[in-house]
Amino acid sequence: MSNVLIIGATSAIAIAFARQCASRKDRLFLVARNATRLQMLVDDLQARGAVAIASQLLDVSRLDRHVEVLSAAVKFLKILDVVLIAHGSLPDQQVCETNPSALQQALQINGNATINLLALVANRLQSQHCGALLVISSVAGDRGRASNYVYGAAKAAVSTFASGLRNRLYRDNVRVITVKPGFVDTPMTVSFDKGLLWAQPETIARGMQRAIDRRRNVVYLPAFWRWIMWLIRAVPESIFKRLSL
């Protein structure tokens, strides 16, 4: 049995992960911004076997509330064995190109808020000398593309920050796992046409659990994205800038 904190708990990927935890009879502290959906999730996880669940509402863009929410989680769980930071939003790239407040909001949710939570949770795990900290970044953070570089830039910042934390916390027995999904069929991507490269949230959740069990550092999910992104990163900038991706 593990003590698990999930931030952005109503995300489709986080729900799939939380269900795995519930069926293993873990203790859960869930954080999300929508009260109705959060309560539905609590009921669902209780029915699936979670031993104890508490929850708290948080709009992650309220950085001033992060300390308070983390304190509530620690009070309930005591030791944090696993922490998953899963929230995110896919901004409208074209709107962000001309609207500075939309740009700032996209960077705040996908970048600043995630990094602030990573920093706070990392300090807590360091003081415990144990724990696994998973953060959902994205393959979009591996290279900027015209169609989504605002989201990609925020995810790149998250991946780099997580890399530094992993390096810093290695000697404290704290594992930092960067999760880089490719295309996942969730509410975030509801308007996209789906094809062969698309995965279900349950596949990503299973991959995240495997990453914890195998003490992985950076996981592309599904794994074939590692090779796709290797190829994409290998394209020289002089050619890449001419492509429509």
Ligand X SMILES: NC(=O)c1ccc[n+]([C@@H]2O[C@H](COP(=O)([O-])OP(=O)(O)OC[C@H]3O[C@@H](n4cnc5c(N)ncnc54)[C@H](OP(=O)(O)O)[C@@H]3O)[C@@H](O)[C@H]2O)c1
- Look at the block and give the residue holding tokens 């279900």: 200
186 binds ligand X (CB under 6 A): yes
Quick one: tokens of 214?
Answer: 């195998």
The answer to whether the CB of 138 falls within 8 A of the CB of 152 is: yes
Q: What is the enclosing helix (H) or strand (E) of 42? A: helix 35-47
- Look at the block and give the residue holding tokens 């304190």: 71
Q: Interface with ligand X by CB under 6 A: which range of 4-12, 95-103, 121-129, 164-172?
A: 4-12
Q: Which of 1, 130, 167, 187 contacts ligand X by CB under 6 A?
A: 187
- Look at the block and give the residue holding tokens 């005591």: 78
Closest approach of Cβ 83 to ligand X, in Å? 14
194 binds ligand X (CB under 6 A): no
Q: Which of 56, 138, 148, 159 contacts ligand X by CB under 6 A?
A: 138
Compare residues 25 and 233 and give the one whose CB is closer to ligand X: 233
Q: Which of 189, 200, 209, 217 contacts ligand X by CB under 6 A?
A: 189
Question: What counts of helices (H) and strands (E) characterise the chain?
Answer: 10, 7
CA 5 – CA 72 distance, rounded (Å): 11
210-238 exposure pattern, b = at least 16 Cβ within 10 A, e = fewer: ebbeeebebbbbbeebbeebeebeeeeee
Q: Which of 4, 136, 165, 169 contacts ligand X by CB under 6 A?
A: 136
24 binds ligand X (CB under 6 A): no
Q: Interface with ligand X by CB under 6 A: which range of 26-34, 94-102, 122-130, 234-242?
A: 26-34
Give phi and psi for 90, each to the nearest 5. -95, 105
Q: Which residue is nearest to ligand X (CB)?
A: 88
86 binds ligand X (CB under 6 A): yes
Binding site for ligand X (CB under 6 A): 8, 10-13, 32-34, 37, 59-61, 86-89, 109, 136, 138, 181, 183-184, 186-189
